Amino acid sequence: MFSDTRPAPLDSPGASSFSAFRIGDAVEIRALLKSLMERGTLINLCAADGSAYGSTLWSLDTQHGKLAFSVDMMAPAVQGLVEAEEAMAVAYLDQIKIQFDVMDRVLVHGPRACVLQASLPRELYRFQRRASYRVRTLERSAPTATFRHPQLPDMRLDLRVLDVSIGGCALFLPSDVPAVEPGLVIKGVRVALDADTQFTAQLHIAHVTAIHPEARGVRLGCELQGLDSAASRALQRYIDATQKRRRMLSLD
């Protein structure tokens, strides 16, 4: 089974089991890519060495078989993507994870912008996004994750936890806070879901996605790492209790 926060290892032993998730129809591929572009969905461009760069789909040229991602030419990760032996794109449409190879990568400089151009993929993969039950947190308990900004150590962040599962969580990053790049691992994060559920964990920032314009912020999809047995039990109790509370509220 693959992790829902990283590219599926399609070249690993047993990867043939992923064939059921492969899409080779050109019309369906174009439709999915068009949805990513029109929604402005944030896409993780992942190099073979594990590094990642967050981008969006800038253009889709089906006539010439090309697509282009918006990039900052000054970002070190961008040059790394161009030089990498292999690169892969991972994005999320609702509950579906979209994954495809990014081939023939080249930087194209324009008068106003720089893009990473690549060949239109001949196949892509669709996976169900979540393998574990996830609950929306209860706002009245003010669930937060507290840590130092990875690029600005003097800045302390207290981000609201939007939802949580036994293996991950989603955080709300306001638009007036400097961006947090996908692929980062942040240590010593203090998670406080309610008065009885507080623990320290390590967060792997798996992806960053837009919510809606009125939200004035983005959603950080995170993998929880380094939980001890006590923290795992407390988290499971919180998930069970929150699920029950939500059911009761829906009956009122």
- CA-to-CA separations, 39 to 27, 91, 108, in angstroms, rounded: 18, 11, 23
φ/ψ of residue 83, rounded to 5: -85, -15
The residue that leads in pLDDT, 4 or 232, is: 232
Mean pLDDT of the chain: 84
- pLDDT band per the 50, 70, 90 thresholds, residue 10: low
- pLDDT band per the 50, 70, 90 thresholds, residue 192: very high
Residue 94: the pLDDT is 66
- pLDDT band per the 50, 70, 90 thresholds, residue 92: confident
Residue 205: the pLDDT is 92
Does the pLDDT value for residue 250 go beyond 60? no
**pLDDT, tens digit (0-9, with 9 covering 90-100), for 222-248:** 999 988 888 888 898 888 888 877 766
**pLDDT, tens digit (0-9, with 9 covering 90-100), for 97-128:** 899 999 999 999 877 779 999 999 999 998 75
Q: Percentage of the chain with pLDDT > 70?
A: 85
Range with the poorest average pLDDT among 73-82, 128-137, 167-176, 217-226? 128-137
- pLDDT band per the 50, 70, 90 thresholds, residue 208: confident
**pLDDT, tens digit (0-9, with 9 covering 90-100), for 158-188:** 999 999 988 899 999 998 999 898 889 999 9
Does the pLDDT value for residue 1 go beyond 60? no
Residue 132: the pLDDT is 58
* Domains annotated on the chain, with CATH: 15-128 (2.30.110.10), 135-251 (2.40.10.220)
Our CA dihedral for 50, 51, 55, 60, rounded to 10 degrees, sits at -50
Residue 204 near residue 223 (C-beta atoms within 8 A): yes
Rg of the chain over all Cα atoms, to the nearest angstrom: 19
- pLDDT band per the 50, 70, 90 thresholds, residue 70: very high
User: Degrees (nearest 5) of the Cα angle 12, 15, 21?
Assistant: 140
CB atoms within 10 A of CB 33: 21
Residue 4: the pLDDT is 45
DSSP for the chain, please give it: ---TTS---TTSTTGGGGGGGEE--HHHHHHHHHHHHHHT--EEEEETTS-EEEE-EEEEETTTTEEEEEE-TT-HHHHHHHHSS-EEEEEEETTEEEEEE--S-EEEE-SS-EEEEEEPPS-EEEEES-SS--EEPPGGG--EEEEE-SS-TT-EEEEEEEEE-SSEEEEEEETTS----TT-EEEEEEEEEETTEEEEEEEEEEEEEE--GGG-EEEEEEEEE---HHHHHHHHHHHHHHHHHHHHHHH-
The C-alpha atoms of residue 78 and residue 225 are separated, in whole angstroms, by: 27
Contacts of 189 (CB under 8 A, 6+ apart): 145, 146, 147, 200, 201, 202, 203
Region 64-74: what's the mean pLDDT?
91
Does the pLDDT value for residue 189 go beyond 50? yes
